[in-house]
Amino acid sequence: MELEEDMDLLDPERLIQCPFVKQHQIRACRFPYHLVKCKESNPEIAKKLATCPFNARHLVPRGDLSNHIMKCSDQALVEQDVVSRFCEPPQEQVKDGSTWQAPPCDEDWETEVSETSKSAFVWGVPNSAINSTTSGQTNSLPSRMRAPESLPYTVSCRANLEY
């Protein structure tokens, strides 16, 4: 019987009554989103309700909060979690909650920059032709084609720059 009740609590399709507007019946999977929207739509009611420290889905009248805290079913889950963390050996505890470690880095960006800056970019000429003086070809075009000697337009930088 208790197992069936626990399974029902985990059902994402079960309906939960909205604490702001009692006529609202919301599916459990949508309930947190509904609480945010309904709280914004009903600020006067929201001022009268307090949030349970054990489960943010529990909104109770401010006067009843201490009574709710004493009886909240989620209190046992939080206490169980605290006790289990406290009882673990210290070497197994992870301080920030993450066990991820960065892989070792074999890259040296300084040498990569100095290696690539030795060759300058020249339009139509491959890098191998710039670095080697034995190459008879002066551009990357096939021998039956030639590069134009001038561009079809002129660019005047001085005319555009006025101080």
User: HSE on the CB side for 74, CA within 13 Å?
Assistant: 11
Please report the pLDDT score of residue 75 as a whole number: 81
pLDDT in tens, 66-88: 998 888 888 877 767 666 676 66
Please report the pLDDT score of residue 7 as a whole number: 57
How many C-beta atoms surround the C-beta of residue 53 within 10 A?
14
pLDDT in tens, 11-61: 889 999 999 999 999 999 999 999 999 999 999 999 999 999 888 889 999
Is 130 in contact with 120 (CB distance < 8 Å)? yes
Q: Cα–Cα distance between 58 and 72 in angstroms, integer? A: 9
Is 4 in contact with 14 (CB distance < 8 Å)? no
Average of per-residue pLDDT values in the chain = 75
Burial class of 132 by CB neighbour count within 10 A (0 to 12, 13 to 18, 19+): exposed
pLDDT (average), residues 114-126: 63
Prediction pTM value: 0.45
Contacts of 12-17 with CB under 8 Å at 24 or more apart are 16/57
Helices (H), the chain: 2-10, 31-41, 43-48, 65-71, 74-87, 109-116, 127-131, 157-160
